[in-house]
Amino acid sequence: MNLRVEQPCPQCGGSVTLSVEDRLLTCPYCKVKNFLLANGGPFRYTLPNKAKEKNRLFHAPYLRFKGNVFSVTDSGVSHKVLDTTQDGCGLPGLPASLGLRPQAMPLTRVHIGSGGRFLPFSGQLREIFAKATKLHNLTEGRKDETVYHQAYIGETLSFIYLPLLPKEDCLFDAVLGEPLRGSSANTLKGEPFQPNWQPRFKAALCPRCGGNLDGEGDCLALICTSCDLVWQIGKEGLERTVGKVIPGGSQKPALHLPFWRIVAELPALRISSFADFAERTNQPFIIRPEWRSQEMRFWVPAFKLRPEIFLRTAKQITISQRQFGPERDMQLKKTVNPYPVTLPLSEARQSLKVILAASAASGRNIFSQLSGAEAEMQTAALVYLPFDDRQLDWMQSHTGTVIGKSVLHFGRKL
Ligand SMILES: [Zn+2]
Ligand SMILES: [Zn+2]
């Protein structure tokens, strides 16, 4: 579900409605583009309320998780799209989740005018994830199976606060106006709004030439067309990212999709070259001697896809990377139709062991070693791969990997 948030434009103050996934705000009034930086920690939102005495409110935190959960067990790799809110303070009487409410009304970013006090988040992220995963029956029917590895990918973590109003020693849900059974307002403390909960805004300008950077709301990397440089929205601002392109196959490609090309070693599994990877995963092709000295590169889609398509694409491109010719520096004028980056490198990194497990022709000998294996990342680059237009599908020019057009479109909405 795509949650909406009302966000005043930092330039002119005009009210803009964004998706909570959006990092680039283009103001429809003053046309200025700004990107949002989290000030450490997840973004914080609140459900709208009509309470008159805002300073008497208590805000109860719910953790919102949206992303894909992948689990490796003896039966292979299973996956689930998870989109949930979970109570994060354990106050008696609170609902376990916010249900459909965040979808039904636009959220407001927590700000100084939200008033009242914010109850502390007392849960453990891991436990909340485990509970949410169980609730969604990810492991149902396979209860006695060992989970060798679990990864949360493409995740959005945020806090959504439920405003509560104390009345006659009881707490009332300030959105619905209903009392919370068994609740008591007596011992509640909480802290006031903290200024560092607010995101910072930075003008979307190329740090090198000062030119305007363009992109759609959900993109995480911006391209400067004058400098031919790719800038990723990082923790502190725009970070330069190595942008490469692999020139097209036989015909003129119609689209370039971005992939995180991650060079990594897994010492516990004795994988440091492409030959090691092919051997450990029992690939049905003959290992060429030159692959012994070729570093292991994982190819991870840098855009959101449904979990099964994400995994299949990463696996197919990673296995068939031997068909690629040399990479070149990104030249925008020659890179037709570059698709926006919507999955950050930090998320892509977490998928390496899952891709390895999915690539294994016979998994048993690899799966059991996954929990003790760490993928040591060496370098990463954003590489645009050419895709040809095949009516209903996009087909990667060198490897034949296909991605349905509707799937790509749908991925933007995830
Ligand atoms: Zn504006
Ligand atoms: Zn520039």
Q: Would you state the torsion angle of the CA atoms of residues 358, 362, 368, 370, taken in this order, to the nearest 10 degrees? A: -30
Q: According to the model, what pLDDT value does residue 336 have?
A: 81
HEC string for the chain: CCCEEEEECCCCCCEEEEECCCCEEECCCCCCEEEEECCCCCEEEECCCCCCCHHHCEEEEEEEEEEEEEEEECCEEEEEEEEEEEECCCCCCCCCCCCCHHHHCCEEECCHHHCCEECCCCCCHHHHHHHHHHHCCCCCCCCCCCCCEEEEEEEEEEEEEEEEEEECCEEEECCCCCECCCCCCCCCCCECCCHHHCCEEEECECCCCCCECECCCCCCEEEECCCCEEEEECCCCEEEECEEECCCCCCCCCEEEEEEEEEEEEHHHCECEHHHHHHHCCCCCCCCHHHHHCECEEEEECCCCCHHHHHHHHHHHHHHHHHCCCCEECCHHHCCCECCCCCCHHHHHCCHHHHHHHHCCCCHHHHCCCCCCCCEEEEEEEEEEEEEEECCEEEECCCCCEEEHHHHHHHCCC
What's the distance, CA 401 to chain centroid? 23
Confidence label for 137 from pLDDT (cuts 50, 70 and 90)? low
Mean pLDDT of 214-243: 88
pLDDT digits (tens, 9 = 90+) for 63-77: 998 889 999 988 889
Dist. CA 52–CA 133, nearest whole Å:
38
Rounded to the nearest angstrom, the distance between the alpha carbon of 34 and the centre of ligand 2 is 16
40 Cα: distance to centroid of ligand 2 (angstroms): 27
Q: What is the pTM of this model?
A: 0.89
Interval between CA 200 and ligand 2 midpoint (Å): 22
Determine the Cα–Cα distance for residues 256 and 248; give it in Å rounded to an integer.
9
pLDDT tens for each residue of 168-186: 888 999 988 888 888 787 7
The angle subtended at Cα 38 by Cα 161 and Cα 342, nearest 5°, is 100
Rounded to 5°, the CA angle 252-254-257 comes to 115
> 80 has which bridge partners?
69
Q: Would you state the structure tokens that stand for residue 359, as one six-digit string?
A: 């690539």
Question: Which ligand sits closest to the CA of 204?
Answer: 2
Tokens 């989740």 sit on residue: 97
CA of 338 to the centre of ligand 2 (A): 17
Q: Which ligand is nearest to the CA of 9?
A: 1
The answer to whether residue 340 scores a pLDDT higher than 80 is yes
CA of 32 to the centre of ligand 1 (A): 6
Cα 213 to middle of ligand 1, angstroms: 16
**How far away, in angstroms, is 13 Cα from ligand 1 center?**
6
CB count in 10 Å sphere of residue 123: 18
Segment 51-64 shows an average pLDDT of: 91
User: Over the stretch 76-110, which tens digit does the pLDDT of each residue have?
Assistant: 899 988 888 989 988 888 998 998 888 888 898 99
For the chain, what is the mean pLDDT? 88
Q: Which of 238, 22, 118 is nearest to 7 (CA)?
A: 22
Rg (CA), the chain: 24
